[in-house]
């Protein structure tokens, strides 16, 4: 910071105020400087310790967000995923990031998009509270209900959860709060709003807890590595207050804590966390506060465990080989290759999932990927709907496959019958399992984890049937056809023409 000089008539108080305001306008150069800046001028002591080995501290996220535009090696983008616990300070921290962006980055356009109007308003409310605590001189006018402007050309505006509100935006920073609650069409439109300028790197920050294994946040986190997007994750232990004088053996948090709170430096009151732990289900506590796997309360196959049911398994020429098909064009066409060993264990050894291809393309792929000649295939089971004749072509999918050398058979059944058979394979009455899926079958594994019932309150939730979402239901349908046909061979239908 440049040296500040004062007239001789200045009192010590006036000098102190001048230095204080000069520091307010001085950009933090290091991570510790930013932490101190926020503590001094906003009164927030941001936790900066990661307690769990695979986690980050909240301060790690704030520094990533702020420093992206001042790095010696200019980044091509500053996107980030922030996955943190309930009451983990995500929204307030994003408001801090918005303030320092606007104060220290001229002409930075920031937009706030929440999973609901209330969520968007909460982040903006934090921001306006900060502005009215000594940052008024940075403003270029009054703080309005949903937007404000700064004298350096920066601006903040709250967007509504609609495609029309998002489309047409050309901004540098977009902060999406509680992504788990987003409409997927709105989220898709939001991806095209951020643009870098000569001095500011574009960034889309996706902030949320993760409630459901089939929700939007789960999809975003799962694809983060593929797209190279950093994930900043913290849980209760990164934001809880330091435990000083409690008896670990008597503490209700000990099962999960194991001494972690002794190393913490956060702000959440331990007593409040104990109360929340007593109120919550185990699944809810793990998902909302520990940021472990999402709650499985609405998942169809809640006992499916990747550690137990996903194991390396290859084709065995001494065992019969089955294929099972679910038809689709826009929705995916699915084929699973399955064998059953001498102990009755169903082994899914491979999968084929593809959209927007014709039957002849699928047939060629099935033949090339099948590790045995067609005459060695014990059976190819399929969706009974494949027998329906198309009004335009005058043929059916099953007939087309037969023409191409693939003979199929099917048995009509209810969805719940097949689901129950899969459940029995996942966990039998004696606790054993008769289902193994190869790690090659990534789409089926994801479907087993995410296939779910409709949300409570929806019209579809009144029944017992799982949601047909066009994503997870198709691999499950293919697996259902195998179980239904394999267990009831006498009722199987083979079409001949």
Domains of the chain are 12-237 (3.40.50.300), 306-494 (3.30.420.280)
Gap between the Cα atoms of 298 and 466, Å rounded: 9
Closest CA to 111 of 161, 182, 60: 161
The residue among 389 and 144 whose pLDDT is bigger is 144
pLDDT of residue 16: 80
- The pLDDT tens digits for 468-479 are 988 899 999 999
Q: Greatest CA separation found in the chain?
A: 106
Asked if 141 and 134 count as a contact pair (C-beta separation under 8 A), the reply is no
Determine the pLDDT at residue 298: 84
**Overall average pLDDT of the 245-253 stretch:** 92
- Cα gap 248→223, rounded to integer Å: 38
What is the sign, positive or negative, of the torsion defined by CA atoms of 244, 247, 248, 252? negative
Which region, left, alpha or beta, applies to residue 291 given φ > 0 means left and ψ of -120 to 50 means alpha?
left
The per-residue pLDDT for range 407-447, each reduced to its tens digit, is 999 999 889 999 999 999 999 888 899 999 999 999 999 99
Q: Tokens 């004088």 belong to which residue? A: 245
> What's the CA gap between 455 and 296, in Å, rounded?
13
Share of the chain above pLDDT 90, in %: 74
When pLDDT is cut at 50, 70 and 90, the band that residue 461 belongs to is very low
Query: Cα–Cα–Cα angle for 193, 152, 66, nearest 5°?
Result: 60
**Average pLDDT, integer, range 359-384:** 95
pLDDT tens digit sequence for 158-217: 999 988 889 888 899 999 999 999 998 999 999 999 999 988 999 999 999 998 888 899
Token code pair at residue 135: 């940052």
Pairing of strands 435-437, 333-340: unpaired
Structure tokens at 167: 């489309």
Cβ(292)–Cβ(209) below 8 Å? no
Poorest-pLDDT segment among 50-64, 140-154, 378-392, 469-483: 378-392
**Contact criterion met (CB below 8 Å) for 149 and 128:** no
Beta bridge partner(s), residue 110? 156, 173
Question: How is 301-350 classified by DSSP, letter by letter?
Answer: TTT--HHHHB------TTS-EEEEEE--SSSPEEEEEEEE-TT--EEEEE
- 429/96: higher pLDDT: 96
**Does the pLDDT of residue 74 top 70, yes or no?**
no
Cα separation, 34 vs 50, in Å, equals: 17
Tokens representing 435? 């289902």
Structure-block tokens of residue 185: 């069409």
pTM, rounded to two decimals: 0.77
């Amino acid at each position: 910071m440049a040296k500040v000089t004062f007239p001789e008539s200045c009192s010590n108080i006036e000098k102190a105020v001048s230095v204080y305001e000069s520091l307010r306008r001085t950009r933090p150069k290091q991570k510790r400087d930013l932490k101190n800046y926020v503590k001094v001028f906003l009164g927030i002591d941001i936790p900066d310790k990661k307690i769990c080995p695979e986690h980050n501290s909240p301060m790690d996220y704030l520094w990533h967000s702020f420093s992206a535009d001042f790095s010696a090696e200019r980044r091509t983008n500053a996107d980030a995923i922030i996955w943190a616990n309930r009451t983990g300070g995500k929204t307030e921290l994003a408001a801090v990031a918005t303030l320092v962006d606007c104060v220290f980055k001229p002409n930075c356009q920031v937009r706030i998009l929440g999973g609901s109007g209330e969520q968007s308003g909460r982040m903006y409310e934090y921001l306006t509270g900060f502005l009215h605590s000594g940052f008024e001189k940075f403003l270029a006018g009054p703080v309005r209900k949903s937007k404000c402007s700064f004298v350096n050309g920066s601006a903040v505006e709250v967007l509504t959860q609609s495609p029309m509100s998002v489309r047409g935006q050309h901004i540098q920073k977009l902060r999406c709060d509680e992504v788990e609650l987003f409409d997927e069409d709105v989220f898709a439109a939001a991806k095209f709003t951020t643009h870098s300028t000569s001095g500011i790197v574009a960034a889309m920050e996706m902030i949320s807890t993760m409630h459901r294994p089939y929700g939007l946040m789960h999809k975003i986190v799962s694809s983060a590595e593929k797209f190279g997007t950093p994930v900043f994750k913290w849980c209760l232990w990164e934001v809880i207050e330091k435990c000083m004088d409690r008896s670990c053996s008597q503490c209700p948090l000990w099962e999960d804590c194991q001494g972690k709170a002794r190393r913490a430096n956060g702000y959440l009151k331990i007593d409040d966390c104990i109360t929340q732990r007593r109120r919550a289900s185990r699944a809810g506590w793990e998902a909302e506060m520990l940021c472990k796997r999402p709650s499985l309360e609405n998942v169809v196959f809640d006992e499916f465990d990747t550690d137990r049911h996903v194991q390396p398994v290859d084709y065995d020429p001494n065992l019969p080989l089955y294929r099972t098909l679910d038809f689709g064009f826009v929705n995916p066409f699915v084929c699973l290759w399955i064998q059953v060993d001498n102990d009755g264990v169903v082994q899914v050894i491979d999968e084929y999932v593809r959209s927007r291809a014709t039957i002849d393309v699928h047939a060629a792929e099935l033949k090339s990927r099948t590790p045995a000649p067609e005459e060695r295939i014990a059976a190819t089971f399929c969706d009974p709907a494949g027998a329906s004749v198309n009004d335009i072509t005058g043929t059916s999918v099953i007939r087309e496959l037969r023409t191409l050398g693939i003979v199929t058979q099917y048995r009509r059944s209810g969805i719940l019958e097949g689901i129950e058979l899969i459940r029995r394979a996942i966990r039998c009455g004696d606790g054993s399992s008769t289902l193994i899926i190869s790690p090659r079958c990534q789409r089926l594994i994801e479907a087993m984890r995410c296939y779910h019932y409709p949300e409570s309150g929806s019209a579809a939730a009144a029944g017992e049937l799982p949601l047909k979402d066009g994503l997870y239901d198709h691999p499950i349908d293919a697996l259902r056809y195998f179980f239904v046909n394999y267990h009831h061979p006498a009722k199987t239908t083979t079409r001949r023409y």
